[in-house]
Amino acid sequence: MESCPKPTEAQLKKIFETLDDDKSGKICVKELKRGFEAAGVSVTDTEMKEIIKCIDKSGDGQVDWPEFKTFFESF
């Protein structure tokens, strides 16, 4: 079976920066939800909090660049 191509670090960084609306260096629930909705995916705040929780290793309720990168590189 052929493996799926992985995004480059530059592509991941661009996605992260696009989601980080306030340019704080972290993606919060509201920003991630806005990104999902822009892609046509309807999600609840509870679902977003669960997604953030899966990616957020520091426990601050937000996703920073290293957490985002590590999460997506794990696939």
pLDDT for 13 equals 98
Amino acid at the residue 44:
T
pLDDT in the model for residue 10? 97
Residue 75: per-residue pLDDT: 80
Helix, strand, coil: what percent of the chain each, to 5? Answer: 55, 5, 40
CA distances from 6 to 10, 19, 40, 53 (A): 11, 19, 23, 23
The domains found in the chain, sorted by start residue, are: 28-75 (1.10.238.10)
Query: How far apart, in whole angstroms, are the C-alpha atoms of residue 31 and residue 4?
Result: 27
**Residue-level pLDDT at 1:** 56
Q: Which DSSP category does 25 fall into?
A: S
Query: Residue 4 corresponds to which tokens in the numbers above?
Result: 């799926």
Low-confidence ranges of the chain (pLDDT < 70): 1-2
Q: What is the pLDDT of residue 3?
A: 78
